[in-house]
Amino acid sequence: MNRAPLILVCPNTQRQGVEFSDDSISLSNCYTDAVIQAGGIPVIIPCTKSKKLVAEYVRRADGVLLTGGDDVQPKLYAPRISRALAKTVTETEPERDVMELQIVDEVFRQHKPLLAICRGHQILNVALGGTLIVDIATQVPKSINHRQMERKCDKVHEVTLTPDSLLAKITGRQMLGVNSTHHQSVDRLAKLLRITAKSSDGVVEAMELKNEGLLPYLLSVQFHPERLVKHHREFQPIFRSFVWSCASVGTKKI
């Protein structure tokens, strides 16, 4: 890898930031540390609704990382839900939703590598026409506990990988122990995607493209590999393979 690729990273939004308690962005260093360790240069995008600016950010970047965060707005995939389900929805990030839908559109238009994590995994499915389970505990019978916030950096359950999947190839595993900090998940799968990992209760834990030629790289996971990568070597190839793909795109731009 002769050139360190620029990786566009999407942050969380905050209504009250640390400096002046006004609208701000926020991002765990775990994401950027994982990108740097894999040989990439992370660039954090500000939250913007400007299609022109989003397109230019994606154009200048060699790849895009969609990160975790708060719930995706139900109105984007399920306009009518019961009051009981509506009460399970935590804080949402409407402006971030708009921006990331635009980013996904630009990623496909500009043919850039994409790695999506947790919330990013969910917004990707929504952006491509899929839907989400609003609350796993309510809607998935006999579901395991997927929201273990106190064990963010621990493996808490296993997922089964599809043998011919990118995730299986780069990790060399058929089973992965993963962390789990979510209560929503993929429901109806977007037509462009295929499921490549599931937990024992059927929750979708990873997705890839049906037609791999649509993008140089696409891997979408429900768990948080950036919080596991330092102590569990099997997660290093996720960031390494993504950054290498981005480097290949960057080489073509020179």
Structure tokens at 201: 């209760």
Q: Per-residue pLDDT for the chain (254 aa), expressed as one digit of tens each? A: 678 999 999 999 887 777 777 788 999 999 999 999 999 999 999 999 999 999 999 999 999 999 999 999 999 999 889 999 999 999 899 999 999 999 999 999 999 999 999 999 999 999 999 999 999 999 999 999 999 999 999 999 999 999 999 999 999 999 999 999 999 999 999 999 999 999 999 999 999 999 999 999 999 999 999 999 999 999 999 999 999 999 998 667 65
According to CATH, the superfamily of the domain at 6-253 is Class I glutamine amidotransferase (GATase) domain (3.40.50.880)
The pLDDT value given to residue 254:
58
Active-site residues, by number, are: 118, 224, 226
Scan for tokens 């002769």, then name that residue: 2
Structure tokens at 86: 């509506």
What distance in Å separates the CA atoms of residue 254 and residue 1, rounded to the nearest whole number? 14
DSSP annotation of 75 reads G
By CB neighbour count within 10 A (0-12 exposed, 13-18 middle, 19+ buried), where does 252 fall?
A: exposed
| Domain map (residue ranges) of the chain | 6-253
Structure tokens at 240: 């390494």
Structure tokens at 104: 């996904």
DSSP annotation of 166 reads H
Q: What's the pLDDT tens digit per position in 100-114?
A: 999 999 999 999 999
Measured CA distances, 120 to 125, 163, 210, 246 (Å) = 9, 23, 18, 18
Name 9's bridge partners. Answer: 44, 65
Are the beta carbons of 184 and 134 closer than 8 angstroms? yes
* Closest alpha carbon to 178 in 120, 243, 235: 235
Q: What's the pLDDT tens digit per position in 51-87?
A: 999 999 999 999 999 999 999 999 999 988 999 999 9
Query: What are the backbone angles phi and psi of residue 253, rounded to the nearest 5°?
Result: -80, -20
Stated pTM of the model: 0.96
Scan for tokens 């929750």, then name that residue: 203
